[in-house]
Amino acid sequence: MSDLFDAERVYAAQSPAELAAEYDRVAESYDAVLVTQHDWRMPEIMAGIVAWLLPREARILDAACGTGLIGVHLKQYGFTHLEGLDISAGMLEVARRKDAYRSLLCAPLGEHLPYPDASFDAFTVAGAFTPGHAPAHSLDELVRITRPGGYGVFSLRDDVDQPDFHATLADHVAAGRLQMLKAGAPFQSLPRAEPHVRNRLYVYIKNY
């Protein structure tokens, strides 16, 4: 069996356990396939946005951090207080070798996160807010652990409908907890492998 990343197999996962197992299977080849072969641009773009928003001493949670691709870019920008979380132990082991994070936690998005309220200056989610991955209510916990005045920087698919995410965000905005600062233009995040896939990056600020 090939250990190469296969998007169809990932999206075919029927449970968080199956999803974690699939990412465990491809962890060692993930960077080579996604970055080198498929030209995955999300981590570099997102890290640049975070670097523009935040001072280098900011505490950032890289949620669904995978193999730590965002962490590597943020480390290059000079960020030193990065924490990562992912559902796959195999992906976290690859991330650990990159020495960009103070801590790494194996846990799924969508459940209670073991961090106190207002623990972080920002959170990032690159690619995990997509069908079959982290659920929309993951945002509730990510908002909880972000300090007032902190940021959420994340991507959503723009080529498929994701009404649950937009509804959850609208609820937070209506309650006054979040305010949208920026919605970027759709772009091809995997131009060589899946040119039809479009993502859009969002930046929200937490009000209270």
pLDDT tops 60 at residue 187: yes
Q: State the pLDDT at residue 176.
A: 97
pLDDT tops 50 at residue 1: no
- Mean pLDDT taken over the chain: 93
pLDDT tops 70 at residue 6: no
Closest CA to 132 of 42, 32, 64: 64
Read off the DSSP letter of residue 109: B
pLDDT tops 70 at residue 188: yes
Confidence of residue 41 (pLDDT cuts 50, 70, 90): confident
Q: What is the mean pLDDT of residues 6-30?
A: 82
High-pLDDT (> 90) share of the chain, % = 78
Q: What is the pLDDT of residues 107-162, one digit of tens each?
A: 999 999 999 999 999 999 999 999 889 999 999 999 999 999 999 999 999 999 99
Enclosing H/E stretch for 31: helix 16-31
Confidence of residue 8 (pLDDT cuts 50, 70, 90): low
| Burial class, 171, CB count within 10 angstroms (exposed 0-12 / middle 13-18 / buried 19+) | middle
pLDDT tops 50 at residue 86: yes
Q: Architecture of domain 7-206 in CATH?
A: 3-Layer(aba) Sandwich (3.40)
Confidence of residue 7 (pLDDT cuts 50, 70, 90): low
Confidence of residue 42 (pLDDT cuts 50, 70, 90): very high
